[in-house]
Amino acid sequence: MSGSFTTSAARNIFYGGTIFFFLVFLGLTYNTEQVLPKRDNRAALANPDIAAGKKLWETNQCIGCHTLLGEGAYFAPELGNVYKRRGGEFIKAWIKAQPTGAPGRRQMPQFNLTDKQLDDLVAFFKYVGEIDTAKWPPNIEG
Amino acid sequence: MQFKSQAVSKPYFIAALGLFVAQILFGLIMGLQYVMGDFLFPHIPFNVARMVHTNALIVWLLMGFMGAAYYLVPEESETELFSPKLAIALFWIFLVAAALTVVGYLLVPYATLAKMTGNDLIPTMGREFLEQPLPTKLGIVVVALAFLFNITMTVLKGRKTAINTVLLIGLWGLAIFFLFSFYNPDNVVRDKFYWWWVVHLWVEGVWELILGAILAFVLIKITGVDREVIEKWLYVIITLTLVTGIIGTGHHYYWIGTPEYWQWFGSIFSALEPIPFFAMTLFAFNMVNRRRREHPNKAATLWALGTGVMSFLGAGVWGFLHTLAPVNFYTHGTQITAAHGHMAFYGAYVMVVITMISYAMPLMRGRAANSNKAQVAEMWGFWLMTVAIVFITLFLTAAGILQVWLQRVSATPMSFMDAQAQVSMFYWMREWAGVIFLIGLIVYISSFFIPGEEKAKA
């Protein structure tokens, strides 16, 4: 890299290119926000249990072992589609029964959730399961 | 060392390496929990170990970046640091905040910690990598702003070079994009969308500017190649980085409820993301080949070349492997992601911070380079850790391919846990590679305690 291509030319391309592509990114973000209402199941959020469930999901750090729509840790099953896979009653019974104590098996802590909290979590999983994820995951196992 | 105030970076480097050790120890705990599920349960559940593992990494890299900035900026600006006292005060604030946060993770159930630390005021906790309690997050903002003030004032009163300008842009970007960690809407899709503005725009955006600036600085010092040449390379690399990387964010927007055109934008732009990393490889080798002097610090040269190669392999090649939407449909959220994450973080950010430490520490200890014996030990550390991370990555990749096959591609898909049981052999091999990594780290750290012989050169 020599000759007529100077450092200041390189610098100008950097600033110009960065600003241009950042503006394109902001434009795409704006468009995404316009399209999202059709995909993100936001109508369900009118039910306050879902927000309560999301907070429980966060304050018990579920993402430290599980994935949700494929994001999180890879130690325990995907939960974005767990409502479809298992159903609400199974989810509640499962959480209540932890830890299994089976020797050598990965263990989930006991979070001592109330019945109301368990219902909130299930409402949250049902809501996430109804987001339009472009058909991901490939099958029900997540 | 040309300016007295550069010495403030020393405690940052020492603390960074201390946290590095903690990160690896917790990584080994997690690796064992993958195959012995009840190991240390219920005292250290997997999610807690993982928080310590990832948060320690983030904090020690930030410590490393700050230390690097405190060393680099006075020398580039040809002036003393604006306020060395502020730098030292911030070091202690940051270290104590980090220590208290880790103690909180380990001693208190996370839900209790959330309650104790005011998560109800602004709920930000419990999202991957952003698990820190509110006071810690606010502390990060305060420390970052005060740090940026100190560094910016130094640059403003001194010489402005491409290197310290790019470093400043990177560091300001780091602080600005962190602010999105306070935005946590109830809408999961929007939550995830803006969460990536911290995570992706950090590691595949502004952090690469910091990386480029640090690497350019060390290459000027150890090769003696003209600044003009190196700065031109730096601009070209970071242009490629941001032109591909900003819209490359789209590779995280395939399956989280976002519009499907992101599959095109994400695939095309992130397929180009290896290019800046390849340019970085060429850059490092070219500059070392065109060197105008034989710097006595061979270890620093090795780390600089290693950064060039391993960041390309880890971030570039292993990123590309699963970045195209039709591939990612099957690999999203599997051990393939983990494989990429390990080599990319090591190859890019761990190695560049160690490059800086390797170059700067001997100078701060009053010698141009460490003794031959110390450098040999350091290079053993380099090879052990680097080869170990390559094997960790390969074993996780093998586990990931099997997992994808058994759980996602097969006509009779297995459940998650059944598939995990099938791939456990690879988790065992990953754990052994992790032990080698720890040995490499111990050798590396021991090299600091081997006395130096080389005389200081002004």
ipTM, interface predicted TM-score of the complex? 0.97
Closest C-alpha to B165, from B213, B233, B202, B226 = B213
* pLDDT at residue number B452: 73
CB B422: neighbour CB atoms within 10 A? 15
**Does a structural domain hold residue A140?**
no
Domains and CATH numbers, chain B: 243-458 (1.20.210.10)
Q: What is the DSSP string of B248-308?
A: HGGGGSSSSS--TTHHHHHHHHHHTTHHHHHHHHHHHHHHHHT-SS--S-HHHHHHHHHHH
- Using CA atoms, how far apart are residues B227 and B229, in angstroms rounded to an integer? 5
Residue B30 contacts residue B430 (beta carbons within 8 Å): no
- Using CA atoms, how far apart are residues B51 and B125, in angstroms rounded to an integer? 12
Same domain, A83 and A30: no
Closest C-alpha to B180, from B170, B188, B171, B190 = B190
Give residue for tokens 């990536």.
Answer: B196
User: A95 CA to chain B: closest CA distance, Å?
Assistant: 15
* pLDDT at residue number A4: 82
Same domain, A24 and A79: no
User: A116 CA to chain B: closest CA distance, Å?
Assistant: 16
Q: Range of A80's domain?
A: 42-129
Phi/psi zone of residue B41: left (φ > 0), alpha (ψ -120 to 50 degrees), beta? beta
Number of H helices, E strands in chain B: 19, 0
**Does a structural domain hold residue A112?**
yes
pLDDT along chain B (458 residues), means of 10: 96 98 98 98 97 98 98 98 98 97 97 97 97 97 98 97 98 98 98 98 97 98 96 97 98 98 98 97 97 96 98 98 98 98 98 98 95 97 98 98 98 97 98 98 97 59
Q: List all residues of chain B from 181 to 240 with a beta carbon under 8 Å from chain A.
A: 184, 186-190, 192-193, 228-229, 231-233, 235-236, 238-239
Average pLDDT, chain A: 97
- Using CA atoms, how far apart are residues B266 and B253, in angstroms rounded to an integer? 7
Chain A: residue nearest B122 by CA? A55
- Using CA atoms, how far apart are residues B453 and B8, in angstroms rounded to an integer? 24
Same domain, A50 and A81: yes
**Does a structural domain hold residue A136?**
no
Same domain, A25 and A78: no
- In A121-135, which positions are buried (b, 16+ CB within 10 angstroms) versus exposed (e)? bbbbbbbbbebebbe
Tokens of B253: 């927007």
Same domain, A18 and A59: no
Centroid of chain to Cα A6: 45
Q: Which of A7, A24, A58 sits opposite B125 (nearest CB)?
A: A58
Give residue for tokens 């018990």.
Answer: A60
Closest C-alpha to B69, from B177, B144, B179 = B144
Chain B: residue nearest A21 by CA? B243
Same domain, A31 and A61: no
For B163-250, strand residue ranges (E) read none
Q: What is the CATH number of the domain that holds A118?
A: 1.10.760.10
User: A96 CA to chain B: closest CA distance, Å?
Assistant: 16
Same domain, A59 and A114: yes
Residue B247 contacts residue A21 (beta carbons within 8 Å): yes
Same domain, A25 and A94: no
Same domain, A81 and A96: yes
* pLDDT at residue number B458: 40
User: A29 CA to chain B: closest CA distance, Å?
Assistant: 9
Same domain, A50 and A64: yes
**Does a structural domain hold residue A139?**
no
* pLDDT at residue number A2: 54
**Is A47 near chain B, with CB under 8 Å?**
no
Tokens of B340: 């990429």
Q: List all residues of chain B from 414 to 433 with a beta carbon under 8 Å from chain A.
A: 414-417, 419-420
> What would the pLDDT profile of A1-16 be if each residue is shown by its tens digit?
556 899 999 999 999 9
Cβ A141–B416 below 8 Å, yes or no?
yes
Best mutation target among B197, B206, B246, B290 (most A Cβ atoms within 10 Å) is: B246
Identity of the amino acid at B5: S
Same domain, A54 and A25: no
Cβ A74–B334 below 8 Å, yes or no?
yes
Best mutation target among B26, B36, B39, B47 (most A Cβ atoms within 10 Å) is: B47
- How many CA atoms within 13 Å lie on the side-chain side of B83? 14
Same domain, A18 and A70: no
Q: Could you give the dihedral angle defined by the CA atoms of residues B377, B378, B383 and B389, in that order, rounded to the nearest 10 degrees?
A: 130
User: B68 CA to chain A: closest CA distance, Å?
Assistant: 23
Chain B: residue nearest A60 by CA? B111
Cβ B239–A40 below 8 Å, yes or no?
no
If you ran DSSP here, which 8-state letter would residue A78 be given?
B
